[in-house]
């Protein structure tokens, strides 16, 4: 082995060691949450979660069993589902329709309107809170799940329309013209040609949007009342007593994060693409 | 032939034109139906609110009196909002730069190991976790009690490994039992002692369960005679469990206090120092004649080191930025890694062939070529950092909220969280919008450029 190779080998093991340390640092907080969620309140008061390494007898699923009995938490979990699934479907459908029109249909003001959509990409959610709250108050939507969904859909649309319009615009012109020659209506072309071709973009968008809404706290904090609030808000309301209720907060937080994490591992590629594309928000 | 064909085709041509016009009109109607839902929602719930907020920000708290730009000047006068502006500035200066740097380093290094994919997955995973869950994770990690927070457990562990921990933070001397208070929180014998003496230093205030493992009764050692030139003694716990002991006397069951630092002091100068054995005994040999005081220095009784107050007023913002790094580093790494994979391999190899070392390749070739990607990552992070809300709202404990506050949380507090000043709240919202307008212009320009 030459000296250079030796040095490279040594350098490489240093790199490996460094990355292992970084990996452990990244894993530790998560391990802390998981192990804390499996310990009783008494054990938590007595010592840190790392004591489970030496006395694993502390670990049990009792907290999770208690969580399933906790009406506030279970309702909040279902509210999260009832908010994020319809939002995702609506955003994808509405944005696909608009994206196709912006890409391939002709109507007055099309290009100006699309530039407006691009401009709206970075508008912070905060600026909409107060006016929309007033509006929803008048419409009777304030404090309801449909209200939360409508708000999310509106603020998800600029990015969704932008993404899908750009993707649809890449569809070869000949394909669409051939379909029109065959006498297909726009609706037929949209459902039979554009949607199937756009599947990868639709999937990335759906995953990104689902994640965004599932994890939201700010919007629901304002627009949901105690009967329509999602898991994030329910847990947030209990954080004031942090320290005395880790046996509720830790499993609750784990419940809230396991869904997106499973989605992440199941759809890695779409997930990364969606998050990358969506980061312009 | 051709002429005939044209003639024959003429009447249908006019008809076809009419049909095309009709088709075009119908096409427009269809197109408007396609975009209508999106435009309706965007108009009613995004565009209108922006205009409304701009207008509302020019009115006072109740919305009845026009105040012009007063809310905007108030923003930089009111200590709470000023704090938010400052903290947001800290976030914007620190977080994107750290993340881009860390992402770049990791993206370059991870290419050198075989398990790159697993590493990338692990670091990217926090992007799937909500800020709320991340907030709870870090509230837990940053807990001040070293028996709860893993970070302080590590800090205290390292500190105690280097500094040693005091063994008896609670121990104290009984009044009138031969020990007086010394400077620095320790104790000293109230009467002078000389070589040849044996002293018994009784302390109380140590719970039997807190005695070091291996501590043994002190009675035997207390009875030993000191040789000439030697000063002997025991430090013991002057307390018999269940009662029956006599204060000031070494009773049979009473335990010695091991590992206690003991000093012999003469004329204000420490001339000898030792630590006690398992039975609490100590001895100073070869002392010159004269009168001494025996001192138990304050280090024996120092309060235990408690670690760092991560979520205290001073460190709360850096601590929350740390949690933010945990979430976003994977994002920066993956995006930069994608840029890295498009670099021309030949250029890098050629540089290595020419004898450039890895650092030179990194500094002179990789970074300059990656500049556009690094800019995108940096700008994206700046936009996101300006709007950070949940993490601050969740991690900062109630009393330190005002030390950690940023524009987005302040906007929330002012408008809805008790402040109820919707004029100032709207102005803060508009400020957030103004801050992202450069990004808006950038997006629009880039899009127009891509369409030419």
pLDDT digits (tens, 9 = 90+) for A231-263: 999 999 988 777 778 889 999 999 999 999 999
Mean pLDDT calculated for residue range B69-93: 92
Which residue in B425, B324, B311 sits closest to B382, CA to CA? B324
> Given this model, what pLDDT does residue A22 score?
96
- Is residue B439 less than 8 Å (CB to CB) from chain A? yes
Tokens of residue B424, six digits: 């100032």
Pairwise CB contact (< 8 Å): B127 & A275: yes
* From B123, B125, B335, residue closest to A276, measured CB to CB: B335
Task: Give tens-digit pLDDT for B427-446.
Answer: 999 999 999 998 888 888 88
ipTM above 0.85, yes or no: yes
Going by their DSSP bridges, the two strands B198-204 and B231-237 should be labelled as parallel
The DSSP H or E segment spanning B194 is none
Which residue in B428, B172, B442 sits closest to B301, CA to CA? B172
> Given this model, what pLDDT does residue A36 score?
92
Chain B residues close to A214, C-beta within 8 Å: 130
Question: In angstroms, what separates the C-alpha of A246 from chain B's closest C-alpha?
Answer: 9
- Is residue A80 less than 8 Å (CB to CB) from chain B? no
Which residue in B204, B201, B202 sits closest to B171, CA to CA? B204
Pairwise CB contact (< 8 Å): A105 & B430: no
Whether residue B329 has pLDDT greater than 70: yes
> Given this model, what pLDDT does residue B110 score?
94
Which residue in A234, A216, A213 sits closest to A225, CA to CA? A234
The three-class DSSP label of residue A46 is helix
Pairwise CB contact (< 8 Å): B389 & A126: yes
Mean pLDDT calculated for residue range B388-398: 92
Mean pLDDT calculated for residue range B368-377: 90
Question: In angstroms, what separates the C-alpha of A216 from chain B's closest C-alpha?
Answer: 7
Tokens of residue B166, six digits: 């005091």
> Given this model, what pLDDT does residue B10 score?
52
What CA–CA distance (Å, rounded) separates B127 from B330? 8
> Given this model, what pLDDT does residue A6 score?
67
* From A16, A18, A215, residue closest to B131, measured CB to CB: A215
The DSSP H or E segment spanning A104 is helix A71-104
Pairwise CB contact (< 8 Å): A98 & B436: no
Residue B242: partners with Cβ closer than 8 Å, 6 or more residues away: none
- A190 secondary structure, DSSP code: I
- Is residue B10 less than 8 Å (CB to CB) from chain A? no
Please report how many Cα atoms fall inside a 13 Å half-sphere around the Cα of residue B444, on the Cβ side: 16
Superfamily, domain B82-155+310-420: MetI-like (1.10.3720.10)
Task: Give tens-digit pLDDT for B164-209.
Answer: 666 777 788 877 777 888 877 788 888 888 888 888 888 888 887 7
Contact between A222 and B98 (Cβ < 8 Å): no
Pairwise CB contact (< 8 Å): B27 & A105: yes
> Given this model, what pLDDT does residue B427 score?
94
> Given this model, what pLDDT does residue A4 score?
66
Pairwise CB contact (< 8 Å): B35 & A113: yes
Contact between B56 and B63 (Cβ < 8 Å): yes
Cα torsion through A216, A221, A222, A225, rounded to 10: 120
What CA–CA distance (Å, rounded) separates A13 from B113? 9
What CA–CA distance (Å, rounded) separates A136 from A221? 15
Contact between A116 and B49 (Cβ < 8 Å): no
Burial of A45 (0-12, 13-18, 19+ CB in 10 A): middle
**Least-confidence region, from A206-210, B288-292, B394-398:** B288-292
Mean pLDDT calculated for residue range A258-271: 88
Residue with tokens 């990194």: B362
- Is residue B413 less than 8 Å (CB to CB) from chain A? no
Whether residue B326 has pLDDT greater than 90: yes
Contact between B95 and B385 (Cβ < 8 Å): yes
Interface of B with A in 77-96 (CB under 8 A): none
Task: Give tens-digit pLDDT for A66-120.
Answer: 999 999 999 999 999 999 999 999 999 999 999 999 999 989 999 999 999 999 9
Length of chain B: 452
Minimal Cα distance from A44: which residue of B?
B148
Question: In angstroms, what separates the C-alpha of A46 from chain B's closest C-alpha?
Answer: 8
> Given this model, what pLDDT does residue A279 score?
62
Residue B342: partners with Cβ closer than 8 Å, 6 or more residues away: none
Interface of B with A in 127-146 (CB under 8 A): 127-133, 135-141, 143, 146
Question: In angstroms, what separates the C-alpha of B224 from chain A's closest C-alpha?
Answer: 42
What separation in angstroms does the CA of A235 have from each of A49, A209, A230, A272? 21, 22, 9, 27
Minimal Cα distance from A92: which residue of B?
B38
Higher-confidence residue of B130 and B184: namely B130
Tokens of residue A124, six digits: 């912070």
Long-range Cβ contacts of B222-228 (<8 Å, 24+ apart) = B222/B198, B222/B250, B222/B281, B224/B198, B224/B281, B225/B198, B226/B195, B226/B196, B226/B197, B226/B198, B226/B283, B227/B196, B227/B285, B228/B195, B228/B196
- Is residue A77 less than 8 Å (CB to CB) from chain B? no
Let me know the angle formed at the C-alpha of B199 by B196 and B204, rounded to the nearest 5 degrees. Answer: 170
> Given this model, what pLDDT does residue B12 score?
66
Burial of A1 (0-12, 13-18, 19+ CB in 10 A): exposed
Q: Quickly count: other Cβ atoms within 10 Å of residue B332's Cβ.
A: 26
Long-range Cβ contacts of B239-248 (<8 Å, 24+ apart) = B239/B204, B239/B206, B241/B208, B247/B174, B247/B177, B247/B202, B248/B174, B248/B177, B248/B178, B248/B202
CB contacts < 8 A (A, B): 276
Chain A residues close to B416, C-beta within 8 Å: 129, 222
- Is residue B105 less than 8 Å (CB to CB) from chain A? no
Chain B residues close to A118, C-beta within 8 Å: 443-444, 447
Minimal Cα distance from B54: which residue of A?
A127
Pairwise CB contact (< 8 Å): A26 & B131: no
Chain A residues close to B130, C-beta within 8 Å: 214-217, 232, 256-257, 260
What CA–CA distance (Å, rounded) separates B308 from B142? 9
> Given this model, what pLDDT does residue B4 score?
42
> Given this model, what pLDDT does residue B166 score?
65
- Residue B2 pLDDT grade (very low, low, confident, very high; cuts 50, 70, 90): very low
- B362 secondary structure, DSSP code: I
Mean pLDDT of chain A: 90
Residue A24: partners with Cβ closer than 8 Å, 6 or more residues away: none
Chain B residues close to A127, C-beta within 8 Å: 49-50, 53, 429-430, 432-433
């Amino acid at each position: 082995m030459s000296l250079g190779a030796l040095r490279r080998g040594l350098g490489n093991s240093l790199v490996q060691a460094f990355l292992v340390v970084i990996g452990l640092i990244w894993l530790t907080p998560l391990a802390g949450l998981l192990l804390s969620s499996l310990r009783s309140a008494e054990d938590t008061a007595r010592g840190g979660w790392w004591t489970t390494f030496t006395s694993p007898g502390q670990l049990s699923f009792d907290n999770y069993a208690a969580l399933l009995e906790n009406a506030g938490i279970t309702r909040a979990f279902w509210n999260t589902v009832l908010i994020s699934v319809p939002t995702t479907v609506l955003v994808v459908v509405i944005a696909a329709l608009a994206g196709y029109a912006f890409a391939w249909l002709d109507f007055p003001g099309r290009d100006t309107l699309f530039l407006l959509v691009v401009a709206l990409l970075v508008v912070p959610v905060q600026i909409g809170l107060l006016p929309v709250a007033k509006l929803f108050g008048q419409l009777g939507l304030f404090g309801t799940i449909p209200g939360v969904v409508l708000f999310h859909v509106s603020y998800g649309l600029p990015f969704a329309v932008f993404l899908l319009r750009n993707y649809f615009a890449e569809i070869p012109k000949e394909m669409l013209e051939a379909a029109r020659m065959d006498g297909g209506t726009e609706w037929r072309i949209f459902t039979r040609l554009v949607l199937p071709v756009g599947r990868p973009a639709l999937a990335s968008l759906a995953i990104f949007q689902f994640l965004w809404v599932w994890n939201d706290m700010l919007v629901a904090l304002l627009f949901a009342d105690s009967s329509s609030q999602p898991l994030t808000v329910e847990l947030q309301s209990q954080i004031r007593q942090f320290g005395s209720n880790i046996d509720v907060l830790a499993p609750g937080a784990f419940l809230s994060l396991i869904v997106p994490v499973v989605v992440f591992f199941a759809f890695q590629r779409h997930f990364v693409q969606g998050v990358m594309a969506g980061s312009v928000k | 032939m051709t002429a005939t064909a044209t003639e024959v085709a003429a009447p249908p041509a006019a008809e076809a034109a009419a049909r095309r016009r009709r088709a075009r009109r119908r096409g427009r109607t269809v197109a408007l139906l396609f975009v209508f839902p999106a435009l309706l929602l965007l108009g009613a719930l995004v565009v209108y609110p922006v205009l409304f907020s701009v207008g509302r920000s020019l009115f006072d708290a109740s919305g009845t009196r026009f105040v012009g730009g007063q809310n905007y000047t108030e923003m930089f006068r009111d200590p709470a909002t000023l704090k938010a502006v400052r903290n947001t500035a800290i976030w914007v200066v620190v977080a994107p730069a750290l993340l881009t740097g860390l992402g770049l380093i990791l993206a370059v290094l991870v290419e050198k190991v075989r398990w790159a994919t697993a590493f990338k997955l692990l670091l990217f995973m926090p992007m799937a976790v909500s800020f709320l869950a991340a907030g709870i994770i870090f509230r837990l990690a940053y807990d001040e009690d070293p028996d709860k927070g893993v970070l302080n457990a590590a800090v205290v562990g390292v500190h105690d490994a280097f500094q040693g921990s005091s063994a008896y933070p609670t121990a104290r001397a009984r009044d009138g039992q031969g020990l007086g208070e010394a400077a620095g929180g320790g104790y000293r014998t109230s009467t002078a002692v000389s070589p040849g003496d044996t002293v018994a230093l009784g302390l109380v205030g140590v719970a039997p369960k807190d005695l070091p493992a291996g501590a043994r009764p002190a009675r035997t050692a207390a009875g030993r005679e000191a040789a000439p030139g030697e000063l002997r003694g025991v430090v013991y716990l002057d307390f018999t469990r269940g009662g029956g002991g006599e204060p000031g006397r070494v009773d049979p069951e009473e335990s010695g206090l091991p590992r206690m630092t003991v000093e012999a002091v003469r004329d204000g100068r420490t001339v000898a120092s030792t630590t006690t054995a398992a039975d609490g005994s100590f001895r100073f040999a070869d002392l010159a004649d004269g009168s001494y005081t025996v001192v138990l220095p304050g280090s024996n009784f120092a309060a235990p080191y408690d670690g760092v107050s991560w979520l205290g007023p001073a460190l709360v913002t850096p601590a929350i930025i740390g949690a933010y790094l945990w979430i976003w580093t994977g994002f920066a790494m993956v995006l930069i890694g994608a840029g890295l994979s498009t670099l021309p391999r030949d250029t890098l190899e050629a540089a290595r062939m020419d004898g450039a070392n890895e650092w030179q390749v990194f500094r002179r070739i990789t970074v300059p070529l990656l500049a556009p990607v690094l800019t995108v990552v940096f700008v994206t992070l700046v936009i996101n950092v300006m709007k950070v809300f949940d993490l601050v709202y969740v991690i900062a404990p109630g009393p330190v909220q005002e030390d950690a506050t940023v524009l987005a949380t302040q906007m929330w507090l002012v408008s809805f969280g008790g402040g109820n000043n919707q004029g100032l709240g709207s102005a803060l919202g508009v400020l957030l919008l103004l801050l992202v307008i450069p990004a808006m212009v950038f997006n629009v320009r880039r899009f127009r450029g891509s369409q030419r």
